[in-house]
Amino acid sequence: MAASEKGKALDTGIRIMARHIKRIREEGLADGVHIMAIGKEGVVPRILEEAELDINSL
């Protein structure tokens, strides 16, 4: 996060979270995830989209 371009920390965090969710799902490491985007709840759909999840099938 510290290495992110100035003003890009949120985008970097979203990419990291999406990558983790995708890996957890692909490798069957857990039955699900709990996303806590405190104060940034509006980015949750973007996280799921970047994790290649279809929110309509959840």
Q: Residues 21-43: pLDDT tens digits?
A: 999 999 999 999 999 999 999 99
What is the pLDDT, as a whole number, of residue 26? 94
- 6, pLDDT greater than 80: no
Question: pTM for the full model?
Answer: 0.79
14-18's contacts with Cβ under 8 Å and 24+ in sequence apart are: 14/43, 14/46, 14/47, 14/50, 15/50, 17/47, 17/51, 18/47, 18/48, 18/49, 18/50, 18/51
- 1, pLDDT greater than 90: no
* Tens-digit pLDDT profile for residues 11-22: 999 999 999 999
What is the pLDDT, as a whole number, of residue 7? 75
